[in-house]
Amino acid sequence: MIPKLPSATVAIMYRFQERIYNFGAGPAMLPNEVMEIAAAEFLNYKGSGMSLMEVSHREPLFEDVLQEAESLLRKLLNIGEGYSVAFFSGGATLHFSALPLNLLKEGESFDVAHTGIWTKKAWEEGLKFNGVNVIYDATPNNFTETPVLTEADLSGKGKYLHITSNNTIYGSQYPKLPKIQSIPLVADMTSELLSRKIEVADFGVIFAGAQKNIGPSGLSVLIIRNDLIGISGRKIPVLLDYSVMIKNKSLYNTPATYSIYIAKLVFEWLDKLGGVSKMEAVNEEKAKLLYDFVDSSSLYVCPVQKKSRSKMNVVFLLKDKKLETKFLDEAEKNGLHGLGGHRLVGGFRASIYNSMPLSGVQKLVSFMKEFESKA
Ligand SMILES: Cc1ncc(COP(=O)(O)O)c(C=O)c1O
C-alpha cells in the first residue's frame, strides 16, 4: 500500500531551496510555483479523488483543462480568430514530417533558411516528401549568425519559408523575425515561444515542442492560419493531419493529458506574472547580465555574433580548454546543472528559458567570476 504522505512532508519535498538551477537545454526546468501546484494536486485533483493523470480525456474535468490551456495560450500570444491552435502528442520533430504533407501538393517545394541542426533536420525530412530550396546557409560561418531575410531572398519556387527562430544548439536567434508577405512563414519556435512578443499575424504556422517554455517533453503546440488547413489534399497519416487534429480540438485520440495540464499551469503562471512582455523584459535582463560578463572576461568567450545572440541559449567557450572538466564539476557542486554544450558543438551552454529566475543567472555569473579568479 502506498503510504499517504502528510501534506507537510510533501511541502518539504518540494521546497524551493532543495531545487537546483538547471541550465539544461531541455527538458528544461519548470517554475517552482507550477511544480508546487502540480504536487499539491497530484493525488486528488480538485476533490475528484483521482490524479488528473487518471481522468478520461472525455470528462469535463480534463476538457476544462484543455480549453483553458488553449484560451490562455491565445491570450498570452494574442492569437486571433483567424488562427487555430492544436496540441500534438509528439515533439517538434513530428512537424518536420507533418508540415510538407499538410502544406504542399506532390511535386511542390518549400524554402528553408538553414541556421542550425534543427533546420537541417526539417530539410532532410522534407526531402522525403517534397522539394527543398535552401535559400540561406549559415554553415560557412559555423552557425554563429542569423540572416536578415526579405522577399528578395526567396527562391521563387517555394510554397512556404521554414525558419528556426532560435537555434537551441548554436545559441543564435533572429533578433527581428522576418516579415514575408508572398508565401506563408513557418517558424519552429521550440526554444523561444512565449519568451518575447511576436506578431502571430506575420506567420502562416508556428510550432513548438513543449520542453523549454511550455511543459513536459513529448507534447507540441501548433498555431496555424485557418486558410492553410487542409490545402494539400494529400493522404496524410491521421495523427499528422492538421485538419483532423483541429477539427477534433486535439481530441481525435487520447492526448497527452497530464502534459497539457502542466502546460496550462505554466500558461497561468506566465499570465499572473504579467504575460509575455513582462517575461521578455526579465529575459533581456538575464541575457544581458550573462553576455556582458562573458564579454568582459578573459577566460570565457561567446562565439556567436553579437547581433544574433540568443536570449534563451547562451553558448560560451573557455579559452583554456584544460579547465573544461573542472568548470563543469565545480558548477554541479554549486547547484548549477546542465551547463555542458551540445554534444555536436562542445563548450558550454546556459539555457535561460522563462523558468530560469534572474537569481539563477546571478548565481551562475558569481560562480563564473570566482572560477576565473582562481584559474
Ligand atoms: C529548435 C528546435 N526544434 C526542434 C526540436 C526537436 O524537438 P523534439 O525533440 O520535441 O522533437 C528541438 C529540440 O530541442 C529544438 O530545440
Measured between alpha carbons, how far apart are the two ends of the chain, in Å? 53
**201 among annotated binding-site residues:** no
CB atoms < 10 A from the CB of 235, how many? 8
**241 among annotated binding-site residues:** no
Whole-number pLDDT of residue 9: 52
Whole-number pLDDT of residue 13: 56
Residue nearest ligand 1's atom 15 by CA: 190
Out of 96, 168, 310, give the residue to mutate to test ligand 1, the one with the largest number of ligand atoms within 8 Å of its CB.
168
* 294-321 as b/e: b if 16+ CB within 10 A: beebebbebbbeeebbbbbbbbbbbeee
Whole-number pLDDT of residue 336: 98
Residue nearest ligand 1's atom 7 by CA: 92
**141 among annotated binding-site residues:** no
Out of 118, 120, 146, give the residue to mutate to test ligand 1, the one with the largest number of ligand atoms within 8 Å of its CB.
118
Rounded (10°) CA dihedral 317, 322, 328, 331: -90
Residue type (1 letter), 65? V
CA of residue 209 to ligand 1 center, whole Å: 6
Q: How far is CA 313 from CA 101, 162, 302, in A?
A: 31, 21, 11
Q: Give the residue numbers annotated as catalytic, written as ranges.
A: 118, 188, 212
> Which distant-in-sequence residues (6+ apart) come within 8 Å of 296 by Cβ?
none
CA distance 156 to 133: 9
Residues in the ligand 1 pocket, defined by CB under 6 Å:
26, 91-93, 118, 164, 168, 188, 190-191, 209, 217
Q: Could you tell me the pTM of the whole model?
A: 0.96
CATH 3.40.640.10-classified regions of the chain: 52-272
CB atoms < 10 A from the CB of 176, how many? 9
pLDDT by residue, tens only, the chain of 375 residues: 444 555 655 555 555 567 899 999 999 999 999 999 999 999 999 999 999 999 999 999 999 999 999 999 999 999 999 999 999 999 999 999 999 999 999 999 999 999 999 999 999 999 999 999 999 999 999 999 999 999 999 999 999 999 999 999 999 999 999 999 999 999 999 999 999 999 999 999 999 999 999 999 999 999 999 999 999 999 999 999 999 999 999 999 999 999 999 999 999 999 999 999 999 999 999 999 999 999 999 999 999 999 999 999 999 999 999 999 999 999 999 999 999 999 888 899 999 999 999 999 999 999 999 999 998
Decide: 52 and 39 in contact? Cβ < 8 Å: no
Whole-number pLDDT of residue 345: 85
Atom of ligand 1 nearest to the CA of 217: 10
Largest CA distance in the chain: 67
- For 52-272, give the CATH class: alpha beta
- The three-point CA angle 192-197-199 to 5° equals 105
CA of residue 12 to ligand 1 center, whole Å: 33
Phi, psi of 262, deg, nearest 5: -65, -40
Q: Given 1.10.10.60, 3.90.1150.10, 3.40.50.300, 1.20.58.2030, which CATH number is that of 21-30+275-374? A: 3.90.1150.10
Out of 88, 191, 211, give the residue to mutate to test ligand 1, the one with the largest number of ligand atoms within 8 Å of its CB.
191
**92 among annotated binding-site residues:** yes
Decide: 203 and 185 in contact? Cβ < 8 Å: yes
Nearest to 23 by CA among 369, 334, 373, 370: 334
**211 among annotated binding-site residues:** yes
List, as one string, the DSSP characters of 242-296: HHHHHHTTT-SS---HHHHHHHHHHHHHHHHHTHHHHHHHHHHHHHHHHHHHHHH
CA of residue 372 to ligand 1 center, whole Å: 33
> Which distant-in-sequence residues (6+ apart) come within 8 Å of 231 by Cβ?
102, 103
Residue 308: DSSP 8-state: G
| Bridge pairing between strands 166-167 and 172-173 | antiparallel
Rg (CA), the chain: 21
CATH 3.90.1150.10-classified regions of the chain: 21-30+275-374
